[in-house]
Amino acid sequence: MRASGTTRLLRHTATAAATVALVVGSLAAAVPANAAKPTEPVGFHPELDYAGSTVAKHEGRDTSATASTFAALAVTQTKGMDVSGWQGNVAWSTAYANGGRFAYVKATEGTTYTNPYFAQQYNGSYNVGMIRGAYHFALPNNSSGATQAAYFVAHGGGWSKDGKTLPPALDIEYNPYGATCYGLSQAGMVSWIRDFSNTVHTKTGRYPVIYTTTDWWTTCTGNNGSFGATNPLWVARYASSVGTLPNGWSYQTIWQYADSGTLPGDQNYFNGAFDRVQALANG
């Protein structure tokens, strides 16, 4: 006896479902459970990546530089810090009592990571009277500058003219996962940075502060001089003086001079009195 139309339809549906299940099961078996996401580098460790996490390894530290070396700077410059998930919950009242007046807080890395301590750090620094801002740890070989900028702005990298929020910042430094310049040519790196910068500007009204070192900038951008007119410079150099700056900048806005000290995280000086920090916050 021939099967009815309804019976044939049920058999066909069951066969198709079994085929789909077999294919899905095969794909699942082919992909290891612990496989890295396509947008993440092998060995992804964003909790260990922060502004300056690669600097000492590549450029070293001047061990002759002591607290007394920088004492004169405290008269004309403003002391601050940068922190990340590495610091966890920060004792902001203590940091303020020890002279900290501004802070940059890591918000994001690539397009998959957000700092789990961001709210405590970003809001906590604000609540004790510091001027604070957010920064993004760049992975230029993973996705476009525009894509990472959009992710950053959507996850803490915004800006408001409240007098207490610094411009968003781009942390662009030695690759912690491989090739120093992330496999990009010098022209390609410049294009990536410009893409990121322009996207942040479009979304927030501010060009991002650029964090880097002179050596990395020279190596990976060809010492490009086209950002100095729009982007404030946050330069890292662990020595007794700031040294030669990247091309295009005649002065640094912020100098990260040590990766440890009396304040949590990295130690920084803003190149001016506190009212100049406020001026940068206000645009």
Q: What are phi and psi of 251, to 5 degrees?
A: -155, 160
- Tell me: do 261 and 171 sit in the same domain: yes
Identify whether residues 29 and 60 lie together within a single domain: no
pLDDT in tens, 256-281: 999 999 999 999 999 999 999 999 99
In a domain, 258, yes or no: yes
Task: Give the domain CATH number at 148.
Answer: 3.20.20.80
pLDDT in tens, 14-71: 444 444 343 334 333 343 444 445 578 888 887 767 787 788 787 878 776 666 777 7
**173 is a catalytic site residue:** yes
Structural domain containing residue 3? 1-35
The one catalytic residue in 82, 109, 215, 259 is 82
Same domain, 143 and 67: yes
Distance (Å, rounded) from C-alpha 218 to C-alpha 133?
A: 26
Whether 221 and 167 map to the same domain: the answer is yes
The two beta strands, 266-270 and 78-83, are: antiparallel
Structure tokens at 11: 């058999």
Give a yes or no: residue 60 inside a domain: yes
- Catalytic residue (one of 171, 215, 259, 266): 171
Are 119 and 179 in the same domain? yes
pTM: 0.84
Active-site residue, from 49, 109, 173, 266: 173
